[in-house]
Amino acid sequence: MTAPTRNGAPEAPRDEQARDALALEEIELDLFVEALNRRYGYDFRDYSRASLARRVRNLVASLDVPTVSDLTARLLHAPERLPEVIAGLSVPVSEFFRDPHVFRALKEKVFPHLASYPHITIWQAGCAHGEEVYSLAILLSEAGLYERTRIFATDISKAAIDRAREGIYPLREAPDAARRYLAAGGTHSFSAYYHARYDLMKLDEQLISRVTFAEHNLVTDGVFCEAHLVLCRNVLIYFTTPLQDRVLARFAETLVRGGFLCVGTRENLEFSLTRSKFQLVDEGARIYRLKAGA
């Protein structure tokens, strides 16, 4: 039985109100995504809906607007707020030598092949704040390959790119980073690669010198280089399956014959339309190699 309100009018059951609120949020999300795409060219239509909804809710809270509709209106009429919106929609989560076994596998199974090229091009897609880019640079340097390498580090978020370009990180992260560095096969001391001042560490300029940072949208932007190695770790999990297929096809297009692709440890190519183009190199590290003639 529907409970009466104080003025005698019937009050909708709570579960009905919850369903109505969710339906309204879905409409608001659709309008937000459409506005972002039509106004600025950022296409989030094929992002995981649950993840997108969670991030938009966080934006509503952090920007102190009442509803998603208000967020959409602000976005449309205040273009200067776009960078913080994109930063809120991206997931800049990273750390130095994250998943050390992946970096060790790259060092042992991929670097020997890269060594056969006079010039090496690497694309780190979704570079976040740059920790993994510099981790790779350190191992390449120790392998004697960094001087002939160019790394393109891209992300959809300008804020993330700007922070990565600085190469400055909290000093409190150094001890854990040093342990992961050794587990990844590092042969020196992690402390040799940064200068500490106060509570910050600034990475050696030599590591930064071979990295080109740029904004790039995996959904809408095309191929811009021929790469011997592409790393895109823990980005595809936020895409729907059709979008994953599109992005993986783009990676196959950018790789040279026999080039390598490394994805996140929670991602794989097994159900992708591009799977037949790659051979598995290391299952645990999620490293694949483009087949000849693919």
Contact 64, 70 (CB under 8 A): no
Its sign, for the CA torsion 199, 205, 210, 211, is: positive
Read off the pLDDT of residues 157-212 as tens digits, 9 standing for 90 and up: 888 999 999 999 999 999 999 999 999 999 999 999 999 999 999 999 999 999 99
Question: Which amino acid does the sequence have at 107?
Answer: K
CB 74 within 8 A of CB 44: no
Q: Please report the pLDDT score of residue 266 as a whole number.
A: 86
For 289, counting Cβ atoms within 10 Å of its Cβ (0-12 exposed, 13-18 middle, 19+ buried), the class is buried
The second-level CATH assignment, the architecture, of 100-290 is 3-Layer(aba) Sandwich (3.40)
Question: Does residue 6 surpass a pLDDT of 90?
Answer: no
Please say whether the dihedral angle defined by the alpha carbons of residues 116, 121, 122 and 125, taken in this order, is positive or negative: negative
Residue 9 burial (CB count, 10 A): 8
The Cα 12–Cα 175 span in angstroms is: 56
Q: Work out the mean pLDDT of the chain and round it to a whole number.
A: 89
**15-50 pLDDT per residue, tens:** 777 777 778 888 988 898 888 888 887 888 877 788
CA-based torsion, 225, 228, 233, 238: positive or negative = positive
Contacts of 57 (CB under 8 A, 6+ apart): 68
pLDDT tens for 235-285 read 888 888 888 999 999 999 999 999 999 999 888 898 888 999 999 999 999
Q: Please give the structure tokens belonging to residue 284.
A: 């645990």
Res 9: pLDDT: 52
Q: What is the pLDDT of residues 268-277, one digit of tens each?
A: 898 888 999 9
Instruction: Decide if 138 contacts 191 (C-beta within 8 A).
Output: no
| 210 Cβ neighbours under 8 A, 6+ residues apart | 137, 146, 147, 149, 150, 151
The answer to whether residues 235 and 153 touch, using CB atoms and an 8 Å cutoff, is: no
Residue 270, CA distances (Å) to 15, 171, 254, 262, 278 in order: 40, 39, 20, 14, 10
pLDDT, tens digit, for every residue of 203-216?
999 999 999 999 99
Report the distance separating Cα 294 and Cα 280, nearest Å. Answer: 14
Q: pLDDT tens, 107-154?
A: 999 999 999 999 999 999 999 999 999 999 999 999 999 999 999 999
Q: Which helix (H) or strand (E) holds 221?
A: none
